[in-house]
Amino acid sequence: MKKIVLLVIAMCAPTAYAANKDTALDTKALTVIQRDFRDKGIAKVDRVKQDKIQALCTQYRDRPPHALQDKLEKEQLAAVKYPADGKLMGDWKAGEKLAQSGRGLTWTDKEGDVVGGNCYNCHQLSPKEIAYGTIGPSLLHFGRNRGNTPEMQKYVYGRIYNAKAFNLCTNMPRFGHVGALTESQIKDLVALLLDPESLVNKE
């Protein structure tokens, strides 16, 4: 019996999961990565150079030591730029439009094109949209379940601006931190999640 359970676990388990330490191969892989890409459109080779967080999350397969994780999350949080006017909620309808768009930053996109929020690629949001992805958690009724106090608005703004400030190796991009989304776009997405009138918070 135990054997069967173990066998099934073995079948399902990631075969290549563990981050095995082999410095020579690590170095070789890095050399290959740095050598075998070329510029295409707006996607230049400098994009494969890792920053501190990317390197750390790669090294630990997204499970870094807790102390290091806490330290870097605090650093990222300290770098979040909140709007100077103190207003964190924009127009939820503009937010919904933005959430639908998965465009931006690929080599087939153009410099200066409006970057989409990519939200529905990974999250459920409005109950009207059934074509949603499941890489991230469902955000259906997000504001209805949590309210929209100033603290909640600040949390959501920060989380979209830089999700890594809250969960260092999350799959979610750092939309504000890297300048993919503007301040006013992030405000619209905050409204999409928290405005009581937003479709996200309706039946």
Partner 1 sequence: MYTRIILTLALAIPCLGFASDDKSADEIAKYREMVSDGNPAELDEMRGEELWKTAAGTKNASLEKCDLGKGAGMVKGAYAELPRYFADTKRVQDLESRLLTCMTTLQGIPEADITRKPFSTTSEKSNIEGLVAYVVGQSKGMKMAVALKHPKEKAAYEIGKRIFFYRAGPYDFSCATCHSENGRRIRLQDLPNLTTNIGAQRAYTTWPAYRVSQGLFRSFQWRINDCFRQQRFPEPVFGSELTVALTMFLAANANDAVYDGPAIKR
Question: Which residues contact partner 1 by CB under 8 A?
Answer: 1, 4-5, 7-8, 11-17, 19, 22, 25-26, 28-30, 32-33, 35-40, 43-45, 47-50, 53-54, 57-58, 61, 102, 105-108, 120-122, 131-135, 164, 171, 173-174, 178, 180
**Which tokens sit at 53?**
């967080």
Nearest CB to partner 1, comparing residues 36 and 85: 36
Nearest CB to partner 1, comparing residues 50 and 93: 50
How far apart are alpha carbons 112 and 114 in whole angstroms?
Answer: 6
Closest CA to 159 of 176, 171, 146: 176
Instruction: Note whether 33 and 49 are within 8 A (CB).
Output: no
How far apart are alpha carbons 170 and 35 in whole angstroms?
Answer: 27
Nearest CB to partner 1, comparing residues 11 and 84: 11
How distant, in Å, are the alpha carbons of 53, 67, 148, 168 from that of 63? 12, 12, 32, 9
How far apart are alpha carbons 127 and 19 in whole angstroms?
Answer: 39
Instruction: Note whether 130 and 199 are within 8 A (CB).
Output: no
Shortest Cβ 42–partner 1 spacing (Å)? 9
Instruction: Note whether 200 and 139 are within 8 A (CB).
Output: yes
Shortest Cβ 91–partner 1 spacing (Å)? 24
Shortest Cβ 43–partner 1 spacing (Å)? 4
Place of tokens 């330490």: 21
Q: Residue 174, Cβ neighbours under 10 Å: how many?
A: 21
Shortest Cβ 19–partner 1 spacing (Å)? 8
Shortest Cβ 179–partner 1 spacing (Å)? 8
**Which tokens sit at 79?**
């770098």
Nearest CB to partner 1, comparing residues 133 and 150: 133
Shortest Cβ 28–partner 1 spacing (Å)? 6
